[in-house]
Amino acid sequence: MAYYDWTVPVRTLIHQLQNHDFDILSVNDGEDDNHVIGLSGTLAERQEATDYITAVDESYLRIGKGSERGIIFIVLGNEPDELVADYGANTEEMMPFIEEAVEAHRKQWEGKKCPLMEVA
């Protein structure tokens, strides 16, 4: 039986955010409080955030850039280019930066299906 493998689209979203100079601060999976990720921008942090996000259908990814903060609402089940259902920031000045990173991810996945994972 095949299942959607959301790890690849989620990991590429996080990578795009890091490429746009965002720190991945925490993940709220709706059950536990926030899972704090860190500020080093490492592959291990990307994987940790991906694991929390892909364990549930909906989650909130908190990001930062300097003193600015943003939040991204992620819904698994949308097409990969629509992974980000919504986003916001603590200042209006931050919104274009988030939008740029989200748009880069959307273009990266435009027209592509979510990868499948075979489970025996």
Q: Count how many domains the chain has.
A: 1
Residue 55: strand, helix, or coil: coil
pLDDT for the residue numbered 40: 67
The CA distance from 98 to 89, in Å, is 8
pLDDT for the residue numbered 46: 84
Domain span at 111: 2-118
pLDDT for the residue numbered 1: 84
Token output for 106: 């959307």
pTM: 0.91
What are the average pLDDT values for consecutive 10-residue runs of the chain, which has 120 residues? 93 93 90 70 83 94 93 94 96 96 97 89
The CA distance from 30 to 61, in Å, is 11
The CA distance from 63 to 25, in Å, is 5
Which helix (H) or strand (E) segment holds residue 49: the answer is helix 43-54
